[in-house]
Amino acid sequence: MIEAYGKGEYTLPEVSYKKPDLSEVRKELVAIESEAGDSDALGSYLRRTAESWRVAAEMLEAVGTDGVTAPSIQLYGRPGDAISGSHYSNLDAARYFVELSDELGADMADDDITTNISSEVLRKDLSTALDAFFGPGVIAVEVDNDLTAKAAAGATRIRLRGGTRFSRYDRHQLLNHEAFVHSLTALNGRAQPVLASLARTSPRVTATQEGLAVFAELMSGAIDIARLKRISLRILAIDMALNGADFVEVYRFFNRCGQSVADSFHSAQRVFRGVPLTGGSAFAKDNVYLSGLMDVHTFFRWALKERRMDLLRYLFAGKLTLGDVMNMEPYFQSGALAAPRWLPPWMQHVHGLAGKLAFSLFINRVRMSKVEAETLSSGS
């Protein structure tokens, strides 16, 4: 189909799903929700986690229908949702980054960014880097020809999409995003003496996990404006699909915005996972990358302002939300929850991290409109 789309021959893909029966699982999750209660932070964590999995089970049982849309929005939000602490929506932020990227595009045309690294070469490269950081054989890197995303990470395995060419930016991004956040938090979660479930992701932690992973790219210098544009385009595409655009229209949107034929097809796949391809429905997970980044960035700045860098380290102790870190602080202090064994390289240098956050915290006091007015009036 990708070859046909490259020739301008557009037809909707034909997709069939096998609907699972998760009724027994849902009953068990409801029982956990009821028994866990909200009497303390650990109980609240268990209840909220079970609840998010119950909603996810309902979403999976609706696979192939527009019934997937509502629970996916319940779990991951919608593009028009407000960004915490601001008057802007996720959609506003997405439009801003796309427009800025397009405006800067001509000036950055000469940047030496080439996608000339094969998935197999990158596999070997990442394996060497991960063996050096985590220890030999702790995390395996594999090539998966059926993967929709460019990469996916678990506790002990990272998969790369086969037949894909990667750039040096991709290499740094995957190392800091997939390995030093997703795999690292899973491994730290496995080492927990009480809450072994912290090794497992859940729908309710997705926004924080993905936001933390993109924040890691930012702090390590592994992100570029093109990456921010890709993340933002997915949010705009979800909004398009919810407003009636079908798979072909969303594909052509990505293609018009500069993505290759194959990348445009894969990007459209992300939007229509599990839902009808005729428009009006969407899988909303990609909505969390930008909103999650904003929330995590704000949390880091708040922690510096309050001199609570310890809370930032706890964030890597497993698959946690920002609220979990705050609520379960007493359990970290008592030892019921273990501090993380591994921290990303950029988190190991607290003074460097504090320097970046301190500058960000202060520079927010500067109003660009005032700077522009003063510059124009002085003629300098």
Name the DSSP class of 82.
B
pLDDT at residue number 213: 94
83 pLDDT higher than 90: no
pTM for this entry? 0.87
Helices (H) and strands (E) in the chain, counts: 18, 5
Q: What is the pLDDT of residues 216-235, one digit of tens each?
A: 998 888 887 888 999 999 99
CA distance 14 to 52: 30
Confidence of residue 357 (pLDDT cuts 50, 70, 90): confident
pLDDT at residue number 103: 84
Mean pLDDT over 354-367 rounds to 67
pLDDT at residue number 361: 64
pLDDT at residue number 356: 72
106 pLDDT higher than 50: no
CA distance 96 to 102: 10
Alpha carbon 278 to its chain centroid, in Å, reads 26
User: How many CB atoms neighbour CB 367 within 10 A?
Assistant: 9
374 pLDDT higher than 80: no
pLDDT at residue number 113: 59
Residue 281 to residues 71, 72, 75, 247, 250, Cα–Cα distance (Å): 11, 10, 15, 10, 12
The answer to which of 38-42, 54-58, 146-150, 296-300 has the lowest mean pLDDT is: 146-150
Q: What is the pLDDT of residues 22-47, one digit of tens each?
A: 999 999 999 999 999 888 999 999 99
372 pLDDT higher than 60: no
Looking at mean pLDDT, say which of 21-25, 79-83, 107-111 comes out highest: 21-25
Confidence of residue 147 (pLDDT cuts 50, 70, 90): confident
Q: What is the pLDDT of residues 153-183, one digit of tens each?
A: 999 999 999 988 898 888 998 999 999 999 9
Confidence of residue 53 (pLDDT cuts 50, 70, 90): very high
315 pLDDT higher than 50: yes
Long-range pairs for 120-127 at CB < 8 Å and ≥24 separation? 122/160, 122/166, 122/170, 122/171, 122/174, 123/160, 125/171, 126/158, 126/160, 126/171, 126/174, 126/175, 126/179
Of the chain, the percentage scoring pLDDT greater than 70 comes to 92
State the amino acid at position 3 in one-letter form: E
pLDDT at residue number 109: 44
